[in-house]
Chains A and B, each alone.
Chain A
Amino acid sequence: MRRTASFVMAGLVLAAMPAGAQEGGHRIVLRDLVRTFGPGAYQGRNNGPEQTERFSRKVKIGRDGRFSLSNIAGDIVVTAGSGDEVSIEAVKRTRGDRSELARVQITVDERGGRVDVQTDHEQNRRDRNGRSDHVSVDYTVSVPVSASVDLHSVSGTIKVTGVHGSLRSETISGDVTITDAPKLESAKTVSGDVTLSGITTDGDLTASSLSGNVRAKGLKARGVDVGSVSGDIAVSDATCERLGVKTVSGAVEYAGGIAKGGRYEINAHSGTIRLLLTNPAGFELNANSFSGSIRSELPLTIGGPAAQPGDSPRNRRGPLSNHSMRATYGDGSATVVVRTFSGDIIISKR
Chain B
Amino acid sequence: MHPNETTLNEYADGSLGAAERAGVEQHLAACASCRQLVDDLRDILRATGELEPLDAPVRAWPRLERAIRMEREHATRVTAGPHSGAAVSDPADAGSYRTYATWLAAAAALVLAAVVGMRYTPGRRAEAPAVAPAGATASATAGGAAESIETELRQAEAHYENAIKGLEAIATTERSELDPRTAATLQKNLAVIDQAISESRAAVRSEPASEPAQQSLIEGFKAKIGLLQDTVALINEMRKGNEAGAARIVSGLKQKGN
Contact = CB atoms under 8 A, between A and B. Distances in A.
A and B in direct contact, judged by CB atoms within 8 A: yes
B131 A313 contact: yes
B180 A107 contact: no
Given A242-B58, A313-B129, A210 B186 contact: yes
B179 A35 contact: yes
Contacts of A27: 90, 92-93
A283 B90 CA distance: 63
Contacts of B216: 269, 290, 339-341
29 contacts: A3-B165, A4-B187, A11-B171, A27-B90, A30-B246, A30-B249, A32-B241, A35-B180, A105-B248, A118-B248, A120-B248, A120-B249, A122-B249, A122-B252, A154-B179, A190-B185, A210-B185, A229-B227, A242-B58, A244-B58, A248-B193, A248-B223, A267-B219, A269-B199, A269-B216, A270-B199, A314-B126, A314-B211, A340-B212
Interface in B211-251: 211-213, 215-216, 219-220, 223, 227, 230, 234, 238, 241-242, 244-246, 248-250
A307 interface: no
Given A28-B87, A223-B55, A341 B196 contact: yes
A173 B55 contact: no
Contact of A14 (B177, B185, B195, B230): B177
Interface in B35-72: 54-55, 57-59, 61-62
Nearest to A316: B130
A225 B59 contact: yes
Given A30-B246, A154-B179, A339-B219, 9 more contacts: A10-B173, A14-B177, A30-B245, A35-B179, A121-B245, A173-B185, A248-B192, A248-B196, A290-B216
A23 interface: yes
B196 A105 contact: no
A40 B184 CA distance: 14
Interface string A195-211: 00000000011100011
Interface residues of A, number: 77
B213 A230 contact: no
A313 B126 contact: yes
Contacts of A11: 171-172, 174, 177-178, 183
Nearest to A269: B196
B123 interface: yes
A29 B220 CA distance: 38
B245 A118 contact: yes
Contacts, number: 211
Contacts of B199: 269-270, 341-342
B181 A206 contact: no
Contacts of B200: 269, 290, 341
B186 A8 contact: yes
A229 B242 contact: no
A2 to B, nearest CB: 10
Interface string A296-338: 0000000000000000111010000001100000000000000
A123 B176 CA distance: 15
Given A210-B186, A269-B220, A324 B211 contact: yes
Interface in A121-166: 121-122, 154-155
A30 B248 CA distance: 11
A33 B238 contact: yes
Given A12-B183, A14-B177, A205 B249 contact: no
A contact patch SS: mixed
Given A3-B168, A28-B87, A323-B212, A15 B180 contact: yes
B189 A313 contact: no
A173 B186 CA distance: 11
B190 interface: yes
B102 interface: no
A264 to B, nearest CB: 11
Given A7-B171, A120-B245, A210 B227 contact: yes
User: By CB atoms of chain A within 10 A, which of B169, B182, B193 has the most?
Assistant: B182
Given A38-B179, A267-B219, A172 B248 contact: no
B127 A229 contact: no
A1 B165 CA distance: 12
A33 B178 contact: yes
A6 B165 CA distance: 12
B127 A23 contact: no
Contacts of B230: 190, 210
B185 A211 contact: yes
A186 interface: yes
A30 B57 contact: no
Contact of B181 (A6, A37, A263, A267): A37
A179 interface: no
A206 B241 contact: no
B210 interface: yes
B175 interface: yes
Interface string B72-109: 00000000000000010010110010000000000000
